[in-house]
């Protein structure tokens, strides 16, 4: 059985903690590994290593830091298949889905390669008599990331490449459910030649999280996970004086207008609702058809597609959807389906009770489709994070928009329509951070930034892209005047250009 180790100052060694956690293959239900749950002392050791490496790394010219990133990017591309297999073996998503995750992570590494241009400041000559002013973005020091199980390679790559390119050093705490992808990525990071201590990886649970949030030498924390934990991380981290970006949960709606191409809308919902078994913060979990006729057509088009979903292990090349990540999460999702039936929703396709030959102990749930869901129901209000799509019928476009704007989450949304005026109005008026028009999963590319509104994001900065550069640096403005231009005599008024 694999013993998953920490990485501290370039040393790969198991945690000395007396506590440990198992890692499972979700397709078989068998334990595949074990990791130690790091202690506060081990977190401190990682932070001290990062702190010691920070001055030299931060002083390195950005162009040299970028050259390390270029090497890292090339190695990630070369080993993408291996990374995808590591993801699938512990998360359960299909190989193609895992490859897509790796590709989106590499895109952020590619963006980080442009750091010399991204860190350029501004210069103004003669802001006053013979006085010049310029701005500079400088690294913070030691930063940390706490990442979720659903994207074990991509989300860490949304964080540490940006932070490190900006001149910081980093402590990463991956999800304890699927840690191997981060460890493989570290091997490539090391092969790219980065100095020891620039990236450190510690595995753990709440004890490790709290040690990160409380540590006085960590200047900034990035987090992705559920909303309750995001709020906790943001509150505790900011109370400790840190800069925090904490991305939380979602309940993403997709409006289907009467003029939409129903087949394209249904296909979009299949990928957005059931891809990665619905374990995405950008998954569409609520379809909102406008008008009874639209709703009837949508459900009629969706139902056979959901029943025909090919569910299987990642090793099956024909599988369209894999298992859920753990038995506990599977039981939680099944409980939501039970609750939906109990509260009166119409379960059109029931994914409960799915058993695959040879994988009877796997954590599989089939695609489930609810119709006539109402805003009062639990399955509408709460994030299920599983292969469950709810149809909420709207009698008008205004009702559909109001439904979305009233929800506590504001992560992502989409509209399918042929009408440009409707689409533009929707994009302007909807109170959601990421919007798709005939695009079901509007995840921004690496040179934009990812982040929701309302209780989907705590903090002032979205993740990666230009916002990532701003989050991982601080602004310094310098005003200069040289002796030849200095007039004699003290000046007691507030400095100005006059």
260 and 282 belong to one structural domain: yes
In a domain, 490, yes or no: no
Per-residue pLDDT, averaged over 454-481, amounts to 96
What is the predicted pLDDT for the residue at 493? 74
The CATH number assigned to the domain holding 341 equals 3.40.309.10
Per-residue pLDDT, averaged over 359-364, amounts to 96
Round the average pLDDT of the chain to a whole number and report it.
96
CB atoms within 10 A of CB 14: 15
DSSP state at residue 67: H
Query: What digits encode the pLDDT tens for the residues 386-412?
Result: 999 999 999 999 999 999 999 999 999
Query: What digits encode the pLDDT tens for the residues 240-299?
Result: 999 999 999 999 999 999 999 999 999 999 999 999 999 999 999 999 999 999 999 999
DSSP SS3 for 72: helix
State the pLDDT confidence band at 188, using cuts at 50, 70 and 90. Answer: very high
Per-residue pLDDT, averaged over 318-329, amounts to 96
Per-residue pLDDT, averaged over 25-39, amounts to 96
Reading across the β-sheet that carries 388-391, which strands appear in turn? 346-349, 368-371, 388-391, 284-289, 252-256, 412-416, 434-437
User: Could you tell me the two tokens for 3?
Assistant: 């013993």
In a domain, 448, yes or no: no
Distance CA 171, CA 159 (A): 10
CB 285 within 8 A of CB 276: no
CB 152 within 8 A of CB 175: yes
State the pLDDT confidence band at 33, using cuts at 50, 70 and 90. Answer: very high
Judged against a pLDDT cut of 80, whether residue 483 lies above it is answered with no
State the pLDDT confidence band at 320, using cuts at 50, 70 and 90. Answer: very high
What is the predicted pLDDT for the residue at 94? 97
CB 202 within 8 A of CB 16: no
State the pLDDT confidence band at 141, using cuts at 50, 70 and 90. Answer: very high
268 and 390 belong to one structural domain: yes
265 and 243 belong to one structural domain: no
267 and 230 belong to one structural domain: no
Distance CA 35, CA 316 (A): 28
32 and 144 belong to one structural domain: yes
User: Could you tell me the two tokens for 249?
Assistant: 């949960």
* 41-76: burial string, b at 16+ Cβ within 10 Å, e else: ebbebbbbbbbebbeebbeeebeebbebbebbbebb
Residue 391 β-bridge partners:
287
In a domain, 125, yes or no: yes
183 and 204 belong to one structural domain: yes
Per-residue pLDDT, averaged over 325-351, amounts to 97
User: Could you tell me the two tokens for 206?
Assistant: 């709440």
Q: Give the residue among 217, 242, 221 at the shortest CA–CA distance from 172.
A: 221
232 and 308 belong to one structural domain: no
Per-residue pLDDT, averaged over 24-48, amounts to 97
When mean pLDDT is compared across 20-29, 378-387, 457-466, 478-487, the lowest value belongs to: 478-487
Distance CA 391, CA 382 (A): 14
DSSP state at residue 457: E
222 and 344 belong to one structural domain: no
What is the predicted pLDDT for the residue at 338? 98
Q: Residue 406's Cα: distance from chain center in Å? A: 24
CB 87 within 8 A of CB 32: no
Q: Is 113 assigned a catalytic role?
A: no
- What is Dmax (Cα atoms) for the chain? 90
272 and 240 belong to one structural domain: no
State the pLDDT confidence band at 496, using cuts at 50, 70 and 90. Answer: low
Distance CA 281, CA 152 (A): 13
What is the predicted pLDDT for the residue at 482? 87
In a domain, 75, yes or no: yes
Distance CA 492, CA 486 (A): 15
DSSP line for 193-243: TPPTTSEEE---SHHHHHHHHH-TTEEEEEEES-HHHHHHHHHHHHHTT-E
164 and 277 belong to one structural domain: no
* Domain range enclosing 92: 2-248+456-478
141 and 108 belong to one structural domain: yes
The CATH number assigned to the domain holding 74 equals 3.40.605.10
Distance CA 159, CA 249 (A): 18
Distance CA 109, CA 102 (A): 11
Of 487 and 41, which is predicted with more confidence? 41
32 and 114 belong to one structural domain: yes
Per-residue pLDDT, averaged over 200-217, amounts to 98
Judged against a pLDDT cut of 60, whether residue 314 lies above it is answered with yes
Reading across the β-sheet that carries 11-13, which strands appear in turn? 11-13, 6-8, 199-201, 169-173, 142-146, 218-224, 243-247, 457-458
What is the predicted pLDDT for the residue at 485? 53
In a domain, 354, yes or no: yes
Distance CA 17, CA 376 (A): 45
Total domain count for the chain?
A: 2
In a domain, 121, yes or no: yes
Judged against a pLDDT cut of 60, whether residue 498 lies above it is answered with no
Judged against a pLDDT cut of 60, whether residue 169 lies above it is answered with yes
DSSP state at residue 166: T
Judged against a pLDDT cut of 70, whether residue 360 lies above it is answered with yes
What is the predicted pLDDT for the residue at 446? 94
Judged against a pLDDT cut of 90, whether residue 364 lies above it is answered with yes
Per-residue pLDDT, averaged over 403-423, amounts to 97
CB 69 within 8 A of CB 109: yes
């Amino acid at each position: 059985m694999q013993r998953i180790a920490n990485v501290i100052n370039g040393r790969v060694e198991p945690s000395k903690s007396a506590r440990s956690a198992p890692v499972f293959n979700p397709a078989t239900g068998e334990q595949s590994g074990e990791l130690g749950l790091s202690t506060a002392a081990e977190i401190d050791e990682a932070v001290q290593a990062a702190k010691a490496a920070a001055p030299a790394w931060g002083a390195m010219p950005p162009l040299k830091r970028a050259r390390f990133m270029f090497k890292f990017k090339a190695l990630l591309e070369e080993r993408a298949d291996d990374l995808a297999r590591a993801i699938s073996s512990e998360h359960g998503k299909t190989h193609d889905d895992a490859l897509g995750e790796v590709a989106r992570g590499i895109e952020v590494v590619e963006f980080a390669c442009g750091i010399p241009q991204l860190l350029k400041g501004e210069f103004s000559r003669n802001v006053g008599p013979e006085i010049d002013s310029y701005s500079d973005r400088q690294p913070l020091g030691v930063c940390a990331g706490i990442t979720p199980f659903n994207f074990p390679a991509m989300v860490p790559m949304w964080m540490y490449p940006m932070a490190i390119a900006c001149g910081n050093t980093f402590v990463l705490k991956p999800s304890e459910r699927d840690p191997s992808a981060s460890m493989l990525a570290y091997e490539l990071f090391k092969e790219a030649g980065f100095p020891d201590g620039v990236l450190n990886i510690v595995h753990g649970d709440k004890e490790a999280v709290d040690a990160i949030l409380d540590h006085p030498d960590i200047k900034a924390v990035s987090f992705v996970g559920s909303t309750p934990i995001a709020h906790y991380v943001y509150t505790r981290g900011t109370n400790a004086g840190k800069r925090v970006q904490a991305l939380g949960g979602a309940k993403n709606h997709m409006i289907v207008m009467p003029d939409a191409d129903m087949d394209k809308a249904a296909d979009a919902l299949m990928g957005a609702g059931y891809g990665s078994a619905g374990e995405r913060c950008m998954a569409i979990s609520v379809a909102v058809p406008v008008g009874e006729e639209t709703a009837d057509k949508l459900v009629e088009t969706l139902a056979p597609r959901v029943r025909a979903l090919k569910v299987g292990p990642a090793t099956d090349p024909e599988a369209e959807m894999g298992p859920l990540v753990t038995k506990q999460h599977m039981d939680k999702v099944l409980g939501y389906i039970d609750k939906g039936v109990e509260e009166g929703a119409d379960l059109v396709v029931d994914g409960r009770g799915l058993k695959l030959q040879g994988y009877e102990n796997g954590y599989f749930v089939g695609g489930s489709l609810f119709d006539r869901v109402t805003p009062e129901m639990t399955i509408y209000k709460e994030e299920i994070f599983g292969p469950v799509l709810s149809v909420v019928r709207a009698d008008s476009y205004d009702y559909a928009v109001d439904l979305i704007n009233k929800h506590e989450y504001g992560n992502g949304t989409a509209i399918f329509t042929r009408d440009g005026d409707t689409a533009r109005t929707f994009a302007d008026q909807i109170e959601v951070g990421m919007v798709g028009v005939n695009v079901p999963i509007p995840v921004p590319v690496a040179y934009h930034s990812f982040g929701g509104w309302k209780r989907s994001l705590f903090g002032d900065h979205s993740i990666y892209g230009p916002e990532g550069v701003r989050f991982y640096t601080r602004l310094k403005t310098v005003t200069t005047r040289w002796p030849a231009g200095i007039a004699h005599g003290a000046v007691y008024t507030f400095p100005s250009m006059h």
